[in-house]
Amino acid sequence: MQLSAFFPTVEIGRDPVKIRDWAQAAEDLGYRDIEVADHVFGVTARDGWKPRYDASAAFHETLTTLAFLAAVTTKIRLSTGVLILPQRQTGVVAKQAAEVDILSAGRLRLGVGVGANFPEYEALGVDFKSRGARQAEQVQVMRRLWTEDSVTFTGRFHDLRDVSLVPKPIQAPIPIWFGGSSDATIERAARLGDGWMPILPPDAGAAKVALLYDRLRAYGRDPAAFGLEAWLAAVDPDPERWAAAATAWRRLGAGMVMLWPAYPIATFDDQIATLRRFKEAVAAY
């Protein structure tokens, strides 16, 4: 089973040397991917809604950070985990992603989501209710921009007339994986995606995987050729629990797992140690 490393964006701090050293440690430990999370704004609780992260949580900008990581690593793959795509202009994301793919020599995976943070959508001037439909159209447009010399596209959210994106990415197209676990997300992933990356415990994941495979077959797609990565939400540093969850997801068909610590890891040394403990726990289970 391959392992992804969750970039500790909130806790890593502002020292680029530590960011470099953390990424190189993940690479040296044999991790397959580094995944960088996404938020543009921190927002406070309101109207009965509470954010997962405090408004002061420090999120490094996702694609800019990946460009830096591309320069300080050589083989580990790089992923957005996950980019809230509907909050952004499609052409800008396509351009940025293509550049990161070039700078990393074809190591980028674009993980995309729709999010649930409606105050952030409001602050960015984007409609929250249409985010799923917007995301689906964005994926189609980006793939065409990455692979065609000239693109004309008219849809609900886009009107492109004979435009080009140059330089093209190394990968044609860049792999797109969907984050989220709603049935609507699974439907979009089965129709448009290269993989699925949910945050679910294995007992809740079994029915969702069955739905995913059913929808893939309905679209004439082979489930065996579709990527599945499980995010393991950990509430405490318990390697046995991590390993048990990874094993359960492997039985469900996941080829990749990522530890997502939902508890504070305060020091840089502990962040590196967590990467090492997770790898050792999964290997020994």
Give the tens place of pLDDT for each residue, 214-254. 999 999 999 999 999 999 999 999 999 999 999 999 999 99
The closest of 144, 77, 84, 140 to 111, measured between CA atoms, is: 84
Helical (H) or strand (E) element with 136: helix 131-147
Model-level pTM? 0.97
Q: Supply the pLDDT for residue 91.
A: 98
* CB distance 189 to 212 below 8 Å: yes
- 183 token code pair: 């049935």
165-169, long-range: CB < 8 A, 24+ apart: 165/91, 165/94, 165/95, 165/98, 167/98, 167/99, 167/102, 168/98, 169/97, 169/98, 169/101, 169/102, 169/106, 169/108
d(CA 119, CA 215): 32
The closest of 244, 273, 271 to 257, measured between CA atoms, is: 244
Residues written for the chain: 285
Domains of the chain, earliest start first = 2-284 (3.20.20.30)
Q: What is the pLDDT of residues 153-195, one digit of tens each?
A: 999 999 999 999 999 999 999 999 999 999 999 999 999 999 9
Averaged pLDDT for residues 123-136: 98
Would you give the DSSP letter of residue 60? P
pLDDT category at 102 given cuts 50, 70, 90 is very high
Residue bearing tokens 């440690």 = 25
Q: Supply the pLDDT for residue 38.
A: 97
* CB distance 246 to 202 below 8 Å: no
- 188 token code pair: 């979009």
